[in-house]
Amino acid sequence: MFGFILGVGAGSFFDISQRAILILAIIATLFLTVFYRRGSRILNSKIAFAAVVALFFLAGLLRFEVLESQSKILTNFNDINADIKILGYVNDEPQRLIDKQRLVVQVKEARVPGYAVFMDEKVLITANLYPEFEYGDFILVEGKIQSPKKFDNDFDYAAYLAKDSIFSLSYYPRIVEISKAEFLREPMSKAESLKISLFRKIFAFKKDFEESIEKAVAEPNASLINGLLLGSRESIPQDLKDAFNKTGTTHILAISGYNITIIALYISALLLFFIRRQKAFWFAILAIALFVILTGSSPSVVRAAIMGSLVLLAYREGRFYSASNAVIFAGAVMIFLNPRILRFDLGFQLSFLATLGLIYIAPKVKEKLEKVPEFWTFKENFISTVSAQAAVLPLILYQFKSFSFVSLPANFLILPAVPLTMLAGFLTGVAGLIFPWLGQIFGAAAWLLSSYEILVIKFFNLFA
């Protein structure tokens, strides 16, 4: 799998023809066949193993080349001086900003004068803030579409969007919501219809849950709690966002493996009160899958979900759990499904580097601090913070050309309070959905804990 990952990485930098890849695969297969039968046993194992890794490396190359060679129909209409009509549905949670909203639309049909083209591609639409749209809304869009452009700071916006298979943009087109009956001339598949129906219910629950917290906890604390639990950051004040960025603690707001591990532990512990351990496993897996959908399926969450599921599976089957194998497996699965994230998704890169730091650097740091006594979880958090920061430091310096020296003490003081804040926030949201007055009781604890975190962030922001 590591060979496969390296192959995808090489394919993202070098354009290698599929014919050349197939020829090299035949040569590697011949090596594997010949040396599997002849020579000493040691020579056999080394060359056969190298041939197998080479085959997986070539499979990674081929996977990226196949993805890049797929036809893109909608891009044929990019940058033409004519309006086109697009029929599709909102395929992700709308991103609402102060004065606008962004919609990822799954395009099923494009109409121009004289003919219509059927497809299954995406377009990113920037629209006015109102009327608001929700996931699964069927819409008719009319306007111009264009290709993504590079920003002045050399940020490759096209590559950033390409990782999500978005190659077309539209700014402030005319949008009309339509009914499903008049949506398409061709029926939608049952699987896609079921997905839309299920995700609409999940995101509706998410909205109710966030509003439950907002009713029980004052701002900006409510937005911080929603960020910790669900990764929602739109309503956090800009000055507080800037403080998180300057102090190197933004990862707390971006749902990560740390957050999902805490939630998985809470869910597993709760389930064991009602059902047997074997059945609790399947409910825990289902809960993790729903949580991934709720939080927008970011790379860090998907990686943590796969690794967390492997932990539960190993425990259920009585097998040993290898974190290094699990992180490579999670990475290979995600890269197989979307090869572009390896090179173009910074969140994916930071998440895996931080995890590798916890696996390989943390034990070394722990050895050096073996004589330091443990107080609550401060020692453990210090080791985790130092290890993760050391692993991601080269990438951060390369991407951002700067590093926050206050991030270590800020994370050291905040991380012990995060699990308690998440627990109090979760209880606030659930209780508020049942009895608003009960939500306010738990909300007082959530407000107090989140106020401490905001105070720490603002203090260290003075020295950032």
DSSP secondary structure, 188-246, as one string? PPHHHHHHHHHHHHHHHHHHHHHHHHHHHS-TTHHHHHHHHHH---TTS-HHHHHHHHH
CATH 2.40.50 fits 74-177, yes or no: yes
Which are the contacts of 42, defined by CB distance < 8 A and separation ≥ 6?
A: none
What Rg value do the Cα atoms of the chain yield, rounded?
25
E strand or H helix that includes residue 98: none
For residue 8, what pLDDT is reported? 92
Task: Quickly tell me which residue has 């993805």 as its tokens.
Answer: 67
Phi, psi of 189 (to 5 degrees): -65, 155
To the question of pTM greater than 0.85 for the whole model, the response is no
Per-residue pLDDT for 140 more than 70?
yes
For residue 104, what pLDDT is reported? 92
Q: What is the mean pLDDT of residues 297-323?
A: 74
Q: How confident is the model at residue 184 (pLDDT cuts 50, 70, 90)?
A: low
Q: Would you list the domain boundaries of the chain?
A: 2-69, 74-177, 204-461
CB 230 within 8 A of CB 210: yes
Q: What is the mean pLDDT of residues 261-280?
A: 68
For residue 464, what pLDDT is reported? 67
Q: What is the mean pLDDT of residues 63-75?
A: 85
Residue 375's alpha-carbon distances to 358, 367, 381, 382, in angstroms, are 20, 17, 10, 11
Per-residue pLDDT for 40 more than 60?
no
For residue 265, what pLDDT is reported? 65
**Among 427, 342, 313, CA closest to 64:** 342
pLDDT in tens, 387-415: 888 888 888 888 777 777 788 888 878 87
The most confident of 186-200, 213-227, 344-358, by mean pLDDT: 213-227
Q: What is the share, in percent, of the chain residues with pLDDT greater than 70? A: 87
Q: What is the mean pLDDT of residues 410-431?
A: 84
Q: What is the mean pLDDT of residues 267-276?
A: 70
Phi, psi of 368 (to 5 degrees): -70, -30
Per-residue pLDDT for 289 more than 90?
no
